[in-house]
A and B are shown apart, each in its own frame.
Chain A
Amino acid sequence: MTTDPVEPILSARGLHKSFGRTPALNGASLVLQPGESVAITGPSGSGKSTLLHCLAGVVRADSGIVTFRGTRLDELTTDDRTRLRRVSFGLVLQFGQLVPELSAVENVALPLLLEGRPRAEAAASALQWLERLEVGQVAGSRSLAMSGGEAQRVAIARALVTSPDIVFADEPTGALDTVTGELALDVLVKAIKETGAALVLVTHDNRVAAVADREVVLRDGVVEDETDHPGAAG
């Protein structure tokens, strides 16, 4: 990785976001270092998913700034932001959200095809990732024919196939039982460590939060003071 280790890969300052009259974020800030994994936790309605979506450029904050490698997301054109999301960011959601009409290998190859990569090359990369995540056997299957754990691993493969700098995961094991979820999570964390990507994880599950290097607790749309945590700087 060429980034200076003291230079954050992603930083968010003073994010505010409301849905109608309901505030979701009230000045949330967060800094992510390259290769770091952070779990965003907090009570229901504290703004966890909204923060993740703002960081990932899926949702625009009403005010506040998100920068990726020093570039403000709100200053990018729509096309550039879409490309950033497709290439530099990987997204894993609670229910996988695979395209049901496509097979596993087609789902995983999709981000590469959208980038204009040749079909054969995209399919080969996709298959490689499916095998790496131990779901090579479902390469030709559609999502309805897969178990929840298999579908989630396929979704993880799709998020990693472009070798993103950051993977955003919103309750990635929320739809799985404990052991299946743990296995899918192990696979995600191992792959992230191997590729050197950073991870931002939203979860209400302590066992999922425990895989991250650091926890950021959100309450009422703001990040709770971390300074009095034992071991925290300052």
Chain B
Amino acid sequence: MSLGTVLLGVLADGPLHGYDLKREHDERFPAARPLAYGQVYATLTRLQRDGLVETFETRQEAGPERTVYAITDLGRDELARWLDETEQPGPYAADELVRKTITALHAGADSQRYLRRQRAVHLTAMRDLTQQRAAAAEVGTRIALDHTLAHLDADLRWLEETRERIAHDDGGPT
């Protein structure tokens, strides 16, 4: 899971400190497990070490000192690279597809292009598995492949529905 790039996607909208970053992330991805603060700060430390975020300012209000982080140009490049990269279809890819699509929408990236390319990658995987299933001698092997194919099919339907939803989106309720 690329939490780092997802957080870069949140920071692309503007500088935030760790607490607000966690809150914004949890709002964007309501179906995901809420982030732990430790996880957010450990990730920010790593992103800063790699030059992808930088300290924007340090605020001292009523409580303890708070560091506000901003995405760097290198961080924006990394985010753009991740948004352009299709995912290897597999049992745990679905979460990543959702994260990437929502992040792309927020970042104003070309989500239609990503969704189109991801469909091609998924369909290629499905084609390989379909050939394996046709060649499988054991019913057990076919059943196991059926399971993987059904999940890929669900991902593909979601990809297609998402394209339609984005294409027809009028901005939603205000």
Q: Is B27 an interface residue (CB 8 A)?
A: no
Whole-angstrom distance between the alpha carbons of A231 and B119 in the complex?
13
Contact code string A63-96 (vs B, CB < 8 Å = 1, else 0): 0000000000000000000000000000000000
Q: Is A210 an interface residue (CB 8 A)?
A: yes
- CB distance A228 to B116 under 8 Å? yes
Kindly identify, within residues 4 to 60 of chain A, every residue whose CB is under 8 Å from any CB belonging to chain B: 43
- CB distance B113 to A230 under 8 Å? no
Interface of A is mostly: loop
Kindly identify, within residues 152 to 211 of chain A, every residue whose CB is under 8 Å from any CB belonging to chain B: 186, 189-190, 206-207, 209-211
Kindly identify, within residues 74 to 120 of chain B, every residue whose CB is under 8 Å from any CB belonging to chain A: 86, 113, 116-117, 119-120
Q: Is A131 an interface residue (CB 8 A)?
A: no
- CB distance B134 to A228 under 8 Å? no
Whole-angstrom distance between the alpha carbons of A211 and B123 in the complex?
10
Q: Is A224 an interface residue (CB 8 A)?
A: yes
- CB distance B164 to A43 under 8 Å? yes
Whole-angstrom distance between the alpha carbons of A191 and B61 in the complex?
75
Chain A contacts of B24 at CB under 8 A? none
Question: Which stretch of B31-39, B50-58, B124-132 is in the interface?
Answer: B124-132
Chain B contacts of A213 at CB under 8 A? 127
Closest to A190 in B: B134
- CB distance B164 to A207 under 8 Å? no
Q: Is B13 an interface residue (CB 8 A)?
A: no
How many residues from B make CB contacts under 8 Å with A? Answer: 21
* Most chain B CB atoms below 10 A, which of A186, A207, A210, A230: A210
* Most chain A CB atoms below 10 A, which of B86, B126, B130: B130
- CB distance B123 to A209 under 8 Å? yes
Chain B contacts of A210 at CB under 8 A? 123, 126-127, 129-130, 149
Q: A206-B123, A207-B130 are in contact. Are A228 and B160 (CB under 8 A)?
A: no
Whole-angstrom distance between the alpha carbons of A58 and B86 in the complex?
39
- CB distance A215 to B123 under 8 Å? yes
The 7 tightest CB contacts between A and B, nearest first, are A210-B126, A229-B120, A210-B130, A206-B156, A210-B127, A206-B153, A215-B123
8 more contacts with CB within 8 A, not counting A213-B127, A228-B113, A231-B124, are A43-B160, A43-B164, A190-B134, A207-B153, A210-B130, A217-B119, A229-B116, A230-B117
**Chain A residues packing against B (C-beta within 8 Å):** 43, 186, 189-190, 206-207, 209-213, 215, 217, 224, 228-232
